C-alpha cells in the first residue's frame, strides 16, 4: 500500500476513474431520503477560479459526499449564470461573441472544479443563455404578467451613461454605477417591472422559519423595511389668511398635502412640514409664487435632480431646502407651520411629504438648526438622557427645566418610542404605543387619514437596454398595444449578430436588427418585438428548479420532481447576495407556489455564507507627485515589482484574493505544487467556515505532511486489516488496548458526522488529525495475535479512511484500493458510531476552590461523587483547603468539583 502522499502519482488517476464510471451522476432511488446541496450560480469570469472561490465549492462537496455515503440521493449540480452585463462587457472588450466566449469560460471553470475533485453531476449542467433554458425564463415572465405581477411603466430610472443602461437601485452604490463606477444620472424611459411589493409581507413573514444566518435575515428585513404609521391630510394655506378659522384661502385646488409618519404621538411637536422637490404640489406653489420665489424653488429642484436617493439620505448633518412661501395646518392644534421643500424627503417613500418634529428626530433637528425653525419638545426625556446633560450642582429637575426652555442646546435630540407625552394638550401623559394608537384612532375618527403600513421595498426593475440577456416575450402592434408571445413560439431567440454594442440614444441594440425586430402579431398584422432584455437576476431566480429536470422540453420542470428534491437543503455562497438574488428567488418561488406549480413556499431551507480568502499583498507609500484615491492607504505593487523594491518601503496587507489585486493563487498552481487533497484539507482546516482565512503556503504544506503521516500509518496497519472484522468484532473479549482503539474510532465518527452537518469543517479536520495521533500511539503496542485488537484495528483503518473520504477523496480511494476493498469510497457506507463505545472511559475534571481553578484530575467517566471528592484533594489543592474550613463541596458528576472554604 502506498505510504506517502505523492499526489502527482495518484490523484489524476482517480479523477479519470471517477469520470469514466460517471460516478457523480445523481442517484434517484425512491426508497432513499434526499439531499440537495447547491452552490450559488456562478458567472464564469474570464479570470477563472482562484483558490479563494474554492472556499465554497469544497465544503459543499464535503457535505454532499458524506450524504451520499450516508445513503441519501444527493443532487449536487453546477451550471453557469451566463447572461448579463459582465459577460457582455467582457465580450465587447475581447472582441468575441458572448455566446462562444461564455462557454469557453465555463469549460475552464469545469476543468478547475474537476481538478480539485468536486463531485458535480455535470450531466445536468446548463448555461442561463441556452435557449432551452431561457425559453422557460420567458415562460415564467408570461406567468408573472398574467398574474398581474409584470408591468411596463414610464419611469425615471438610474441611468449609467457609460454602460448605457438603466440600473436597479441595488446596482447604484453611493451614486455610482456598481459595475463601472460612473456617476449615475436620472432618465425617464418605459421600463418593465416585477411587482415584488405585492409579496412584501409574505417575504417578511416567511423569513422567520428559515435556517439562515441572522445577519442575512436582518438585511432582508431592513430591505423590505416595513413600518407602521399614520397617513393624514394637512391643509395648506397662505400665511396672511391666518385669521378666518376654517376658511383659508387655499393654494388653488391642491389645498392639501398628505403626510406619512411613524410617530403620530409627536404631532404636537410639529414645527414645520417638508415636501420632496418632486412633489406635485410644488408646481402649484411655483405658479402662485412671486417670480423670485418661483425661481429659487426651480433652481433647488434642478439641483436635487442630480442627486441619487442615496446621496440625499446620506447621514451628514447638512440639510438643504427652501421655504415654499406657504404654510400647513397642524390638525391637532391648528398651528400654521412653514412648509419647506427639501431633498432629505424622498418622493418614492410614503407620500413624499412629512410632518417634521425637530425635537425628536435627528434629520428634522439638523434641518431646523440650519433654517432657524423652532423646536418644541413633546416627549418627556428619560433619566439617561438627562444624566448625559447634567452639569455640576444641578439635579434632574433642573436639567429638565432647562431642556424645556432651550431644547436646541440638547444635541443629538431625545429619541424614544416609549416616552410619555408632554405639551400635547389632552393627550399629555399617554405613553408610547398607547399614545400612537389613541392619536391614530383620533385621526381616523376625524376622517383626516388612516393608519398605514409602508414598505421600503420597491418593485423590481427588470428591463435592460442591452443585447446579452433573455429577450422579453412581448410584441407590440401598430397601436403600440402589447401582447404576449404564445407558448408555441417560445423561446424568442436572441438573434446572433456581430455588433451588439449599446447605442448612444439608450435604445437596445436589438432595435437595430430589423429582421428580428419586425414580426407579426397573433392576428397576423405587423408587429414589433420588445427590444429590452431581462436583467440577469431573472435568470438566476429559478435555476435551482431547473436542475431537478434540466432537459424537459414540455415544461420548465416536472412538479413531481420539484416535490421530491426541493427545498435546497444547503445553499452555499457569499454574503454579498443577501438581498438581491436571495430576495428575488424567494419571490419567484412564492409566485410559482401561488400558481400551483411548486409545493413549497421557500426555495432555500438552509443558507450558509463562506468567509473570504485573503492573500498577503504588497503596497507602498506614494512617491513625490503621486496621490492616493479615496479610501486608499497605499499603492498596490505587483509581486514582481515588490522583489526589486527595498523591503522596508513595502507594506504587506491581507486583502481579498482577486485578479484586480494581482494576488491570485489558482487551483492549478496549488494542485500542481501541493496536491488537490492537501488544498482541500487546508481550506477546510484553516478557519471556521464563515471566517475569512489568510492564505499560507506553509499551512497547505502542513497538510501535505499530515496526509503522508496518515498514509504511512494506514500502510503500517494494513497487514493487520481483516475485511471481515464486522462479523466478529462484538464476539471477542475486549482488551484495554482494543477498548481504547474503539473509543477513539467511535468518538471520531461521532464528531466528524456532527461537524460536517454543522458546517464545522475545521473541527472535523482537526479532530481527525488528533484521532490519527491517538491511533498511532495506541497501535504501537498492538498485539496482532489478539483477535479483539486485530478487529479493533481493522475497524479503525476502515473508519478512518472513510471519514477522511469527503475531505480527501483521492487519498481515501488510493488507500481503499490498497486495502483491497472494492469500488470507490464514494459508494461505501458512512461509518456508524455507537455512542456507548464513543464515550470516553476517563474524563478530565476541573477542581476549584471558591470558584477558582486550582487543579484537574483524570477520573473514570462513571466515578461516584465520593470518589471524585476524594481524588480532588490533590497536593496542589490541599494547601488552599487548609487556609480555612471546608464548608461545602459541590460535585457535578463528570464535570466539576468545587470546595467552598472560609
Ligand atoms: C414625524 C416623526 C417624528 C418621524 C419623529 C420620525 C420621528 P421609517 O421608519 O423609515 O418608515 N418620512 C416619512 N416619509 C419620508 C420620506 N418620503 N422621505 C424621508 N423621510 C420620510 O420612517 C418614517 C419616518 O420618516 C416618518 O415619521 C417621517 O418622519 C419620515 F420623532 O414623522 B416621522
Q: What is the pLDDT of residue 391?
A: 78
Sign of CA dihedral 182, 186, 189, 190: positive
Is the Cβ atom of 313 under 6 angstroms away from ligand 1?
no
CB atoms within 10 A of CB 523: 8
Check pocket membership of 260 for ligand 1, CB cut-off 6 A: yes
Q: Is 360 in the pocket of ligand 1 (CB under 6 A)?
A: yes
Q: How crowded is residue 682: how many other Cβ atoms within 10 Å of its Cβ?
A: 25
What residue ranges in 462-606 does DSSP mark as E strands? 463-464, 470-471, 474-476, 482-484, 518-520, 526-529, 533-534, 570-573
Q: Which atom of ligand 1 approaches the CA of 270 most closely?
A: 1
Phi, psi of 863 (to 5 degrees): -60, 145
For 171-199, the DSSP string reads GEETTEETTT-PBPEEEEEEEEEE-GGGG
Helix axes 736-757, 761-779, angle to 10 degrees: 170
Q: Whose Cα sits closest to atom 2 in ligand 1? A: 263
Strands (E) across 621-727 are located at 635-636, 650-656, 693-694
CB-based contact 163:504 (threshold 8 Å): no
Pocket test for ligand 1, best of 260, 367, 435, 436 (most atoms within 8 A of CB): 260
DSSP state of 604: B
pLDDT of 245 reads: 40
Q: How far is the CA of 324 from the centre of ligand 1 (A)?
A: 20
Span from the CA of 170 to the centroid of ligand 1 (angstroms): 22
Q: What separation in angstroms does the CA of 417 have from each of 229, 431, 586, 638, 697?
A: 13, 9, 32, 54, 54
Question: Angle at which helices 761-779 and 676-685 pack, to 10 degrees?
Answer: 110
Å from CA of 336 to ligand 1 middle:
20
User: Would you tell me how many other CB atoms lie within 10 Å of the CB of residue 827?
Assistant: 12
Would you state the pLDDT for residue 246? 42
**Cβ(231) to ligand 1 under 6 A?**
no
pLDDT value of residue 506 = 66
135 close to ligand 1 (CB < 6 Angstrom): no
Q: What is the Å distance from ligand 1's center to 325 Cα?
A: 23
Our answer on whether the CB atom of 452 is closer than 6 Å to any ligand 1 atom is: no
Q: Collapse the DSSP code of 293 into the 3-class scheme (helix H, G, I; strand E, B; otherwise coil) and give the result.
A: helix
Question: Largest alpha-carbon pair distance within the chain?
Answer: 112
Pocket flag, ligand 1, residue 353 (CB < 6 Å)? no
User: How many C-alpha atoms does 678 have within 13 Å on its Cβ side?
Assistant: 30
The pLDDT score that the predictor gives to residue 390 is 83
CB 780 within 8 A of CB 704: no
Q: Tell me the HSE value of 190 on the side-chain side, using a 13 A CA sphere.
A: 10
Report the DSSP pairing between strands 336-341 and 256-261.
unpaired
Q: How far is the CA of 230 from the centre of ligand 1 (A)?
A: 10
Nearest CA to ligand 1 atom 12: 354
Q: Which residues of the chain have pLDDT under 50?
A: 243-250
pLDDT of residue 811: 98
3-class DSSP state of 245 = coil
Q: Count CB-CB contacts under 10 A for residue 437.
A: 14
Residues forming beta bridges with residue 855, ordered by sequence position: 847
Nearest to 555 by CA among 597, 494, 601, 584: 597
Nearest CA to ligand 1 atom 14: 350
Tell me if 436 sits within 8 A of 228, measured CB to CB: no
At 247 the pLDDT is 40
Please, are residues 284 and 266 in contact by the beta-carbon 8 Å criterion? no
Q: Which atom of ligand 1 is nearest to the CA of 357?
A: 3
pLDDT, one tens digit per residue, over 722-749 is 999 999 999 999 999 999 999 999 999 9
Q: Whose CA is nearest to atom 7 of ligand 1?
A: 361
Q: Is the CB of 399 under 6 A from ligand 1?
A: no
pLDDT of residue 174: 76
User: pTM higher than 0.75, yes or no?
Assistant: yes
Residue 315, C-beta contacts closer than 8 angstroms, at least 6 positions apart? none
pLDDT value of position 244: 43
Closest alpha carbon to 539 in 167, 171, 133: 133
Dihedral of the alpha carbons of 348, 352, 357, 360, in degrees to the nearest 10: -10
CA contacts within 13 A on the Cβ side of 57: 25
d(CA 58, CA 79): 16
Give distance in angstroms: CA of 357 to centre of ligand 1.
9
How far apart (Å, rounded) are the C-alpha atoms in residues 327 and 336? Answer: 6
Best mutation site among 263, 313, 375 for ligand 1, i.e. most ligand atoms within 8 A of its Cβ? 263
CA–CA separation, 153 and 194 (whole Å) = 11
331 Cα: distance to centroid of ligand 1 (angstroms)? 18
For residue 249, the model assigns a pLDDT of 47
Ligand 1: centre distance to CA 72 (Å) = 52
Measured distance CA(285)–CA(290) in Å, rounded = 10
Amino acid at each position: 500500500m502506498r505510504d506517502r502522499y505523492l499526489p502527482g502519482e495518484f490523484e489524476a488517476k482517480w479523477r479519470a476513474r471517477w469520470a469514466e464510471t460517471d460516478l457523480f451522476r445523481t442517484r434517484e432511488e425512491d426508497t432513499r431520503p434526499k439531499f440537495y446541496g447547491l452552490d450559488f450560480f456562478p458567472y464564469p469570469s474570464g479570470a477563472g477560479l482562484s483558490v479563494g472561490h474554492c472556499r465554497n465549492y469544497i465544503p459543499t462537496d464535503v457535505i454532499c459526499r458524506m450524504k451520499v455515503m450516508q445513503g441519501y440521493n444527493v443532487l449536487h449540480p453546477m451550471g453557469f449564470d451566463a447572461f448579463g452585463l459582465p459577460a457582455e462587457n467582457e465580450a465587447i472588450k475581447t472582441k468575441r461573441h458572448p455566446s462562444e466566449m461564455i462557454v469557453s469560460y465555463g469549460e475552464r471553470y469545469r476543468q478547475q472544479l474537476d481538478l480539485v475533485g468536486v463531485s458535480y453531476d455535470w450531466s445536468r449542467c446548463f448555461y442561463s443563455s441556452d435557449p432551452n433554458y431561457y425559453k422557460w425564463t420567458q415562460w415564467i415572465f408570461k406567468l408573472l404578467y398574467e398574474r398581474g405581477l409584470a408591468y411596463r411603466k414610464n419611469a425615471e430610472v438610474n441611468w449609467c451613461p457609460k454602460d448605457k443602461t438603466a440600473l436597479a437601485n441595488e446596482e447604484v452604490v453611493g451614486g455610482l454605477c456598481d459595475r463601472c463606477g460612473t456617476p449615475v444620472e436620472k432618465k425617464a424611459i418605459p421600463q418593465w417591472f416585477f411587482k415584488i411589493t405585492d409579496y412584501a409581507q409574505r417575504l417578511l413573514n416567511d423569513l422567520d422559519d428559515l435556517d439562515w444566518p441572522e445577519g442575512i435575515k436582518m438585511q432582508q428585513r431592513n430591505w423590505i423595511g416595513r413600518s407602521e404609521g399614520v397617513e393624514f391630510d394637512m391643509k395648506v394655506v397662505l400665511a396672511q389668511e391666518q385669521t378666518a378659522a376654517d376658511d383659508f384661502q387655499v393654494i388653488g385646488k391642491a389645498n392639501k398635502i398628505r403626510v406619512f409618519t411613524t410617530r403620530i404621538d409627536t404631532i404636537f411637536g410639529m414645527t414645520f412640514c417638508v415636501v420632496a422637490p418632486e412633489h406635485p404640489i410644488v408646481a402649484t406653489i411655483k405658479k402662485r409664487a412671486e417670480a423670485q420665489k418661483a425661481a429659487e424653488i426651480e433652481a433647488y429642484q434642478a439641483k436635487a435632480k442630480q442627486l441619487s436617493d442615496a446621496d440625499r439620505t446620506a447621514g451628514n448633518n447638512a440639510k438643504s431646502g427652501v421655504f415654499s412661501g406657504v404654510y400647513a395646518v397642524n390638525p391637532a392644534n391648528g398651528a400654521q407651520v412653514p412648509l419647506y421643500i427639501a431633498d432629505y424627503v424622498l418622493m418614492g417613500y410614503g407620500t413624499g411629504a412629512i410632518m417634521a418634529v425637530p425635537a425628536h428626530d435627528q434629520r428634522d433637528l439638523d434641518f431646523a438648526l440650519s433654517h432657524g425653525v423652532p423646536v418644541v419638545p413633546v416627549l418627556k426625556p428619560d433619566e439617561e438622557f438627562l444624566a448625559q446633560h447634567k452639569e455640576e450642582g444641578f439635579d434632574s429637575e433642573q436639567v429638565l427645566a432647562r431642556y424645556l426652555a432651550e431644547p436646541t442646546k440638547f444635541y443629538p435630540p431625545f429619541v424614544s418610542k416609549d416616552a410619555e407625552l408632554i405639551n400635547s394638550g389632552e393627550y399629555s401623559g399617554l405613553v408610547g404605543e398607547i399614545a400612537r394608537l389613541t392619536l391614530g384612532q383620533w385621526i381616523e375618527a376625524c376622517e383626516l387619514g388612516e393608519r398605514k403600513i409602508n414598505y421600503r421595498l420597491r418593485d423590481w426593475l427588470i428591463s435592460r437596454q442591452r443585447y446579452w440577456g433573455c429577450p422579453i416575450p412581448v410584441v407590440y402592434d401598430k397601436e403600440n398595444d402589447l401582447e404576449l408571445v404564445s407558448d408555441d413560439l417560445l423561446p424568442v431567440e436572441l438573434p446572433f449578430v456581430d455588433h451588439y454594442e449599446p447605442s448612444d440614444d439608450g435604445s437596445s441594440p436589438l432595435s437595430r436588427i430589423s429582421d428580428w425586430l419586425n414580426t407579426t402579431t397573433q392576428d397576423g398584422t405587423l408587429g414589433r418585438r420588445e427590444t429590452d432584455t431581462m436583467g440577469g437576476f431573472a435568470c438566476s431566480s429559478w435555476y435551482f428548479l431547473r436542475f431537478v429536470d434540466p432537459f424537459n422540453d414540455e415544461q420548465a420542470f416536472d412538479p413531481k420532481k420539484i416535490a421530491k428534491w426541493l427545498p435546497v437543503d444547503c445553499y452555499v455562497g457569499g454574503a454579498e447576495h443577501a438581498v438581491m438574488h436571495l430576495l428575488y428567488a424567494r419571490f419567484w418561488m412564492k409566485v410559482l407556489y401561488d400558481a400551483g406549480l411548486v409545493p413549497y413556499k421557500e426555495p432555500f431551507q438552509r443558507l450558509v455564507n463562506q468567509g473570504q480568502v485573503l492573500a498577503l499583498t504588497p503596497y507602498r507609500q506614494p512617491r513625490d507627485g503621486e496621490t492616493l484615491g479615496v479610501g486608499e492607504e497605499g499603492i498596490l505593487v505587483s509581486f514582481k515589482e515588490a522583489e526589486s523594491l527595498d523591503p522596508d518601503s513595502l507594506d504587506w496587507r491581507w486583502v481579498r484574493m482577486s485578479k484586480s489585486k494581482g494576488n491570485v493563487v489558482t487551483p492549478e498552481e496549488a494542485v500542481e505544487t501541493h496536491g488537490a487533497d492537501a488544498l482541500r484539507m487546508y481550506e477546510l482546516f484553516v478557519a471556521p467556515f464563515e471566517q475569512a482565512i489568510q492564505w499560507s503556503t506553509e499551512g497547505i504544506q502542513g497538510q501535505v505532511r499530515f496526509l503522508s503521516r496518515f498514509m504511512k500509518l494506514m500502510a503500517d496497519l494494513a497487514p493487520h486489516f481483516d475485511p471481515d472484522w464486522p462479523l466478529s468484532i462484538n464476539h471477542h473479549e475486549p482488551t484495554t488496548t482494543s477498548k481504547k482503539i474503539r473509543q477513539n474510532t467511535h468518538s471520531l465518527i461521532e464528531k466528524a458526522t456532527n461537524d460536517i452537518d454543522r458546517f464545522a469543517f475545521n473541527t472535523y479536520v482537526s479532530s481527525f488529525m488528533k484521532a490519527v495521533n491517538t491511533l498511532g500511539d495506541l497501535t504501537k503496542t498492538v498485539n496482532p495475535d489478539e483477535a479483539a485488537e486485530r478487529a479493533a484495528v481493522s475497524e479503525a483503518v476502515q473508519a478512518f479512511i472513510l471519514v477522511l473520504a469527503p475531505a480527501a477523496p483521492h487519498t481515501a480511494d488510493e488507500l481503499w484500493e490498497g486495502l483491497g476493498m472494492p469500488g470507490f469510497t464514494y459508494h461505501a457506507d458512512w461509518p456508524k458510531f455507537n455512542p456507548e463505545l464513543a464515550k470516553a472511559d476517563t474524563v478530565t475534571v476541573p477542581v476549584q476552590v471558591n470558584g477558582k481553578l486550582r487543579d484537574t484530575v483524570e477520573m473514570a467517566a462513571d466515578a461516584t461523587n465520593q470518589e471524585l471528592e476524594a481524588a480532588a484533594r490533590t497536593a496542589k489543592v490541599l494547601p488552599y483547603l487548609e487556609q480555612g474550613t471546608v464548608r461545602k463541596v459541590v460535585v457535578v458528576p463528570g464535570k466539576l468539583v468545587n470546595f467552598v472554604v472560609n
